[in-house]
Amino acid sequence: MGAIRVGRFSRGLWGITAVVVFVADQVTKAVVQGSIPEHTTVPLLPHFFNLIHTNNAGAAFGLFSDSPAPWKTVLLIVISGALLAMVIAVMWRNQRLRWKTGVGLALILGGALSNLFDRIRLGRVVDFLDVYYRSYHWPTFNLADSAIVVGAGFLVFQLLFLE
């Protein structure tokens, strides 16, 4: 129960979800780049949430961003591309997926594609969401990162709590 046959409608809905995530992330990044100078903080909810224009040349959460290795960006692009190919293959090949699995994979696909697009186009990813409490800051992130985390949450929830 809960599994639906994957048809054109389901795949189309998942594709639309991925495109919406991609476009929303690219639009918000463009707005931030055009209106907030790099490293400028715009407080929205004092003591909790800011907008800040940063550029992440590393992986998730800024890992490897300080590395001067010339092959870093190429390696991150190759790894991202391989992981995206796996997500697409899972979505395309499985004839029976729970809708939550399809939505989770679509969110991951849209977010990962947007960050990969940035990395190919700019050599870095634009981040701008800054959540914090006092001096404790979560690493700055973007809408694509949020979609990837929510999508992964869908998948983990299914693994832990559903058959």
Reported as a single tens digit per residue, the pLDDT across 21-63 is: 999 999 999 999 999 999 999 999 988 999 999 998 766 655 5
| DSSP string for residues in 102-118 | HHHHHHHHHHHHHHHHH
Grade residue 68 by pLDDT with cuts at 50, 70 and 90.
low
The answer to the question of residue 155 being in a domain is yes
Question: Is the residue at 39 inside a domain?
Answer: no
Spell out the residues 6+ positions from residue 135 whose beta carbon is closer than 8 angstroms to its own.
none
Catalytic residue among 25, 118, 130, 145: 145
In a domain, 35, yes or no: no
13, 101 contact by CB (below 8 A): no
The domain in which residue 161 lies consists of 49-55+70-163
Whether 93 is covered by a domain: the verdict is yes
pLDDT digits (tens, 9 = 90+) for 102-151: 889 999 999 999 999 999 999 889 999 999 998 888 889 999 999 999 99
15 compared with 35, residue with greater pLDDT: 35
Per the structure, how many domains does the chain have? 1
Position 162 in a domain: yes
In a domain, 102, yes or no: yes
- Residue 1 has what pLDDT? 44
Asked if 110 contacts 25 with a C-beta cutoff of 8 angstroms, the reply is: yes
Asked if residue 26 belongs to a domain, the reply is no
- Has 66 been annotated as catalytic? no
Higher local confidence (pLDDT), 124 or 4: 124
CA distances from 2 to 94, 96, 112, 153, 155 (A): 15, 10, 27, 18, 14
Catalytic pick among 25, 118, 127, 130:
127
145 an active-site residue?
Answer: yes
Q: Is residue 61 part of a domain?
A: no
Torsion sign across C-alpha atoms 42, 44, 45, 46: positive
